Amino acid sequence: MVNSQLFKRMVQIGRVVLLINGDFKNRIAVIVEILDCRRVVLDGPKTCVSRHIASCNDFLLTSIMVHSLAHGARTGIVAKRWDAQDITAQWNKTTMAKKLLSRQRRAQLNDFERFQVMLLKKQRRIEVAKTLSVASL
């Protein structure tokens, strides 16, 4: 029998999460305590996320873990572990962070920049069509 886990990311102490709702939207934090099956205590000392209780519906679990973090660790300890393991750099390398950054960039485009993007997409589409027509001959 194959021993593969169905779920790869568990709600556990030290798990880095991306907040998707509330005042700290699009910031990352760490789970420092699990209160019940729906609520956890989050802390993000390096991302300006104050220690607070959050619903499990308000964040996404990432694959990043802050190791050797005790239950209910204080903000100073979390900050030391964050720096020691360079969590911010690990986060910036993830595809989730890159997608979030590209979405924010696309939302800030003005009308002329959107027009330029449209022209570049059109040029790319024409080049792909040309190479496909040559390859099919």
**Predicted structure pTM score:** 0.82
Quick check: is 65 in a domain?
yes
Quick check: is 4 in a domain?
no
The model's pLDDT over 11-20, given as tens digits with 9 standing for 90+, comes to 999 999 999 9
Quick check: is 2 in a domain?
no
Quick check: is 35 in a domain?
yes
CATH number of the structural domain spanning residue 66: 2.30.30.30
Quick check: is 89 in a domain?
yes
The model's pLDDT over 69-91, given as tens digits with 9 standing for 90+, comes to 999 999 999 999 999 999 999 99
| Contact indicator for 78, 69 with CB cutoff of 8 Å | yes
> How many CB atoms within 10 Å of residue 61?
17
Share of the chain above pLDDT 70, in %: 97
Q: Supply the pLDDT for residue 3.
A: 63
Q: Supply the pLDDT for residue 7.
A: 83
Q: How many residues does the chain have?
A: 137
Quick check: is 51 in a domain?
yes
Quick check: is 112 in a domain?
no
How many domains, the chain? 1
Q: Supply the pLDDT for residue 137.
A: 77
The model's pLDDT over 34-81, given as tens digits with 9 standing for 90+, comes to 999 999 999 999 999 999 999 999 999 999 999 999 999 999 999 999
Q: Supply the pLDDT for residue 4.
A: 67
Quick check: is 101 in a domain?
no
Determine the longest span between alpha carbons in the chain, in angstroms: 67
Q: What is the extent of the structural domain holding 65?
A: 15-93
What pairs with residue 43 in β-bridges?
30
User: Which residues, 6 or more positions from 18, have their beta carbon under 8 angstroms from its beta carbon?
Assistant: 26, 27, 28, 59, 60, 62, 96, 100
121/117 Cα distance (integer angstroms): 6
